[in-house]
Amino acid sequence: MTTLAIELARVDLLADLPRNSLAAVAAQVRTMRHGAGAVVLDADDGSSNRDVFLVLEGVVDVINYALTGREVSFARIEAGGYFGELSAIDGLPRSARVVAATDCRLAALSPQLFDRLVTEEPTVARKVMLRLARIIRACDERIMDLSTLRAVERVAVEILRLAKPSDGNAGAPGRWVVDRLPAQRDIAARVGTARETVARVLSQLQEDGVVERRGRMLVVPDRMRLLRVAAGDRPEALLAR
């Protein structure tokens, strides 16, 4: 296989295709590079482009903006992922902005090629369905969070989603860690609040010993305490503000 075909095989959408199919796809895609911060595509920009983009290298963020101008983060897609399938499926304009979080390299599938793959390759069709199901479930969770939780609780829930069991490097067994805590601005965009609110909540959680900061790492010594905060058991200092 060509180098590009090998790279395409690392993208989840195409990973189960046979070698000859990968080679055929590689002959029909176009690749491009974007520097960090570049807008890859934008919502309602009037463009007729309906390509599906495969992330070969780097990371992109899927975002949008409220009428107030506040940024809302939908997803972060790393190498091996893809985006843009909604417009390829229904032919409508883009629903969000995609920005390169790092220098990245992408491969673009035309909507015609994407449609042919979904129609002729059952593994591709199933992966698209599974991805759309995950997106719907994630949207359901976020709608529930925004409808029922205060900002304090939403920040706690986001930390719980990011935290993973410690491998022992962060202290005693039973601790959970966020290896690289996102910037406060990014957390705020994810949970639908202001950066200042995220800063205040993190500061209070540290003061109360619910979390510990170690550089870019965030340690959760007792996950149950953080779960209680997420469930509404907020420290008095946060309730008073």
* CATH topology identical between 3-145 and 150-231: no
Helix or strand holding residue 164 (H, E): strand 164-165
Burial of 236 (0-12, 13-18, 19+ CB in 10 A): exposed
pLDDT, position 235: 53
Task: Sketch the domain layout of the chain as residue ranges.
Answer: 3-145, 150-231
CATH 3.30.300.20 fits 3-145, yes or no: no
pLDDT digit string, tens, across residues 16-65: 999 999 999 999 999 999 999 999 999 877 778 899 999 999 999 999 88
Contacts 24+ apart (CB under 8 A), 124-132: 124/13, 124/14, 124/16, 124/17, 127/12, 127/13, 127/16, 128/13, 128/85, 131/85, 132/85
Q: What is the dihedral of CA 175, 230, 232, 204, to 10 degrees?
A: 70
Which region among 69-73, 118-122, 176-180, 226-230 has the lowest average model confidence (pLDDT)? 69-73
pLDDT, position 133: 95
CATH of the domain spanning 150-231, picked from 1.10.10.10, 3.40.50.1460, 3.10.450.50, 3.40.50.10470 = 1.10.10.10
Q: Residue 102 above 80 pLDDT?
A: yes
Task: Look at the block and give the residue holding tokens 């491998």.
Answer: 167
Average pLDDT of the segment spanning 68-80? 85
pLDDT, position 67: 65
Task: Look at the block and give the residue holding tokens 């790393």.
Answer: 78
Tell me, yes or no, if the pTM score tops 0.75: no
- Select the more confidently predicted residue: 168 or 96: 96
Q: Residue 232 above 90 pLDDT?
A: no
